[in-house]
C-alpha cells in the first residue's frame, strides 16, 4: 500500500508505483511519432528546411545566467538546486505550431531553457551531457490529460500543416474574439487558445509552466518561470500590435533587449497529495493553497541581440530543447513526458539529417556569448 499524500501537507516522496502506464501507450507513441513526422516532412517539403514538429518559430534567442538561491529549505534543495551556484542558460521563446506562421495566428507562447555545465548523474539517454532543460508554456495545464487524448487532438492539427495560411489568420481572429468573450466573464479556454485564439500579448510578460511534472530529487514537482524585474512585470498582459508584421513578436522581444535586461523567478511546486495533484493527468492544475510556488533560483539576461540569423543557425538548427536532457534528479514523469522521449529523439534525427547539421548539447556557453551580446 502506498501513501498518496504527505503528512500535514509535507511533500510526497516519489515512488515508482505512482507512475501507471496508460493502456496502449506504445501504440500511442507510434501514432504520435507518425503525426509529428508528418508535420516536419510537410514543412520541409514546402520550405526545404527542417524545423521542429512543434514550436517551429522562434521569437527570441537569449543567453542568460541562472543563480540558485542560498539557504533553500531541504525539500527544495534538490538536484540542480541542492547548493548555490551560477550556470549559463540558453533561452528560446517560441509559439506552438509546427509550421512557421504569421504572428497574427496567435497561439500559446513557449519558453525553453537549457542550463549548461551541470554536473551529476544523468537520465538514461543523456549520459555524457551536462545540460538540464526545462520546456515551458504560458499556461499551467496541458491541453489533454494523457498522451492518448493528446494524440486525438494532434492528428487533425497535423493534417492542416502548411495549408491555407490566410484562412488560418482569419480563423485566428475569430477565435481571439471568442476567447475575449469567455475571459470577460472570468473564464478561459485552453482549446481555443491552442487553435489560434490566444490574445496578442507580449511574450516577455508571460508566466511559463512545465505543465507536466518531473522528479525533484526525492520528490515530484512542476516548474514555472515568472517575470520578476519591473520591466517584465510591466509587460504582463500587454497587447502588441501585430498588424502587417508577420514577425511582430520577434520584433518586440528584440526591441526590449536592445535597451533592457530581464529577470525571472524560477519556481517549483512540490506534490503533496496525488489525489489533488495527479502525476498521470497533466490537465489538472495543482492547488496552490495546498502547495505554493517557491522560488529556487533567479534567471537574468543582459541587453543583447535577442534574435539574429547567426543565433538561429546556432540555436534553432544546432540545439534541441528536451525535458529528457536532464539530471536523474529531474527525470520527467507521467504519460505526457514518457511519450515525449521518443518524439524528441525522432525530431532531432529528422532535423539533423535534412539540414546536414549536428544537433548536440553544448559543453559551455562560450560559442554563443559573442553572438548573443552583439547588440544590433
**φ, ψ (nearest 5 deg) of residue 130:** -140, 40
Contact call for residues 208 and 69 (beta carbons, < 8 A): no
Given a cut of 50, is residue 169 above it in pLDDT? no
Confidence class for position 366, pLDDT limits 50, 70, 90: confident
- Cα–Cα distance, 134 to 136 (Å, whole number): 6
Q: 10-19, 30-39, 276-285: which range is least confident on average?
A: 30-39
Q: Which domain does 294 fall in, by range?
A: 7-372
Non-local CB neighbours of 26 within 8 Å, separated by 6+ positions: none
Q: Is residue 194 part of a domain?
A: yes
Q: Is residue 1 part of a domain?
A: no
* % of the chain residues with pLDDT over 90: 64
Given a cut of 60, is residue 203 above it in pLDDT? yes
DSSP character string of 327-370: BGGG-B-SHHHHHHHHHHHHHHHHHHHHHT------S-SHHHHH
Q: Is residue 74 part of a domain?
A: yes
Q: Is residue 183 part of a domain?
A: yes
Angle at CA of residue 55, ends 53 and 56, nearest 5°: 65
**What is the tally of structural domains in the chain?**
1
CATH of the domain at 358: 2.40.180.10
Residue found by looking up cell 533587449 in the block: 257
Contact call for residues 56 and 162 (beta carbons, < 8 A): no
Q: Is residue 275 part of a domain?
A: yes
Classified as helix, coil or strand, 62 is: strand
Residue 101 has a pLDDT of 84
Segment (H or E) for 33:
helix 25-47
Cα distances (angstroms) measured from residue 144 to each of 54, 149, 190, 275, 313:
16, 6, 10, 18, 32
Classified as helix, coil or strand, 120 is: coil
Q: Is residue 236 part of a domain?
A: yes
Confidence class for position 180, pLDDT limits 50, 70, 90: very low
Q: Is residue 97 part of a domain?
A: yes
Amino acid at each position: 500500500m502506498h501513501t498518496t499524500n504527505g503528512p500535514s501537507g509535507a511533500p510526497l516522496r516519489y515512488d515508482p508505483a505512482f507512475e501507471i502506464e496508460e493502456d496502449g501507450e506504445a501504440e500511442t507513441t507510434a501514432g504520435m511519432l507518425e503525426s509529428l513526422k508528418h508535420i516536419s516532412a510537410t514543412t520541409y517539403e514546402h520550405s526545404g528546411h527542417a524545423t521542429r514538429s512543434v514550436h517551429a518559430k522562434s521569437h527570441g534567442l537569449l543567453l542568460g545566467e541562472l543563480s540558485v538561491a542560498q539557504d533553500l529549505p531541504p525539500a527544495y534543495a534538490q538536484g540542480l538546486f541542492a547548493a548555490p551556484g551560477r550556470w549559463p542558460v540558453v533561452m528560446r521563446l517560441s509559439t506552438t505550431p509546427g509550421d512557421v506562421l504569421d504572428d497574427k495566428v496567435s497561439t500559446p507562447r513557449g519558453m525553453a531553457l537549457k542550463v549548461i555545465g551541470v554536473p551529476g548523474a544523468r537520465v538514461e539517454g543523456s549520459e555524457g551531457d551536462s545540460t538540464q532543460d526545462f520546456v515551458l508554456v504560458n499556461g499551467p495545464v496541458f491541453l489533454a490529460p494523457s498522451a492518448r487524448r493528446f494524440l486525438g487532438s494532434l492528428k487533425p492539427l497535423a493534417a492542416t500543416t502548411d495549408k491555407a495560411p490566410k484562412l488560418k489568420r482569419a480563423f485566428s481572429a475569430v477565435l481571439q474574439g471568442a476567447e475575449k468573450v469567455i475571459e470577460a466573464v472570468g473564464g478561459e479556454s485552453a482549446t481555443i487558445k491552442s487553435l489560434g485564439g490566444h490574445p496578442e500579448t507580449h511574450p516577455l510578460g508571460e508566466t511559463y509552466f512545465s505543465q507536466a511534472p518531473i522528479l525533484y530529487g526525492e520528490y515530484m514537482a512542476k516548474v514555472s518561470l515568472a517575470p520578476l524585474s519591473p520591466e517584465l512585470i510591466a509587460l504582463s498582459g500587454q497587447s502588441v500590435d501585430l498588424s502587417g508584421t508577420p514577425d511582430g513578436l520577434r520584433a518586440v522581444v528584440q526591441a526590449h533587449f536592445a535597451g533592457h535586461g530581464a529577470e525571472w523567478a524560477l519556481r517549483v511546486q512540490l506534490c503533496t497529495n496525488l489525489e489533488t495533484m495527479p502525476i498521470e493527468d497533466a490537465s489538472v492544475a495543482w492547488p496552490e493553497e495546498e502547495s505554493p510556488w517557491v522560488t529556487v533560483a533567479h534567471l537574468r539576461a543582459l541587453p543583447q541581440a535577442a534574435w539574429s540569423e547567426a543565433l538561429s543557425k546556432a540555436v534553432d538548427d544546432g540545439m534541441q530543447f528536451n525535458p529528457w536532457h536532464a539530471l536523474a534528479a529531474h527525470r520527467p514523469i507521467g504519460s505526457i513526458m514518457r511519450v515525449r522521449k521518443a518524439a524528441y529523439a525522432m525530431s532531432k534525427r529528422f532535423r539533423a539529417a535534412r539540414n546536414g547539421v549536428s544537433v548536440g548539447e553544448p559543453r559551455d556557453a562560450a560559442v554563443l556569448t559573442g553572438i548573443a551580446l552583439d547588440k544590433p
